[in-house]
Amino acid sequence: MTTTSTRTGRKRFTLIDAGREFWRHPSPWMIAATLVVASGARIAYGDWQITDALVPAIMLAAFPFFEWLVHVCILHWRPRKIGVLRIDPLLARKHREHHVEPREIALIFIPWQALLWVLPVALGIALLAFPRTALGLTFLTFLTVLGLCYEWCHYLVHTDYKPKTAAYRAVWRNHRQHHFKNEHYWFTVTSAGTADRVLGTYPDPATVPTSPTAKNLHGQA
């Protein structure tokens, strides 16, 4: 990652530096391309109604809980065997690698291979699960906005960029504690423990022991 020199000669990692690196990776481009197409289709389709404002509001409120569920149930999935079949999804494998090397930039992003099926599934939901096509396109557009926000926030926490605001400092601190203190807590990424507070995974860090498996999920070799 590139840095900017300060007057003292020390290197400082800026948001511009972060942005340059962020757009070197495929996942943000894939999500951004879907956003452009979805928003263009939404504008062209028209048929604006009050529900087109309600859906994003509901999605924004639900997103921390969706984030928590995905993190707990999919990313922290413990590999299982059913007979000779080993069930160990790509997302879980990559997330374990991410815990081993939390500063490895390529491992921070949603794997692009997963987006090859996640984005079509999102499109299918948008077209089939809503009473109006226009409302489904609203859903898809805002979903990609949330996806880009997630990628940027998660990426930024793992860079050398230092928090400048109290809100970002809280997000930064929570996710760093998940990686370096105890992987059983602090599962939300883009908010300051919103779902964690509700679901009981937001303890006082002083009361939580440092986990020996924070960098080696499930204690696997």
pLDDT in tens, 75-84: 999 999 998 8
Residue 9: what pLDDT?
47
Overall number of domains in the chain: 1
Distances in Å between the alpha carbon of 189 and those of 69, 85, 181? 12, 32, 15
Does a structural domain hold residue 5? no
Judge whether 154 lies within some domain.
yes
Sign of CA dihedral 43, 139, 26, 180: positive
Q: Is residue 62 part of a domain?
A: yes
Q: Domain span at residue 189?
A: 11-219
**Would you state the pLDDT for residue 5?**
45
| pTM (2 d.p.) | 0.92
Residue 3 lies in a domain: no
Nearest Cα to Cα of residue 27 among 139, 114, 92, 101: 114
Question: Per the domain annotation, does 126 fall within a domain?
Answer: yes
User: Does 4 map to a domain?
Assistant: no
Q: Given this model, what pLDDT does residue 8 score?
A: 44
Q: Distance between CA 132 and CA 137 in Å, rounded?
A: 9
183 pLDDT higher than 60: yes
- Is residue 181 in a domain? yes
> 2 in a domain, yes or no?
no
Mean pLDDT of the chain: 93
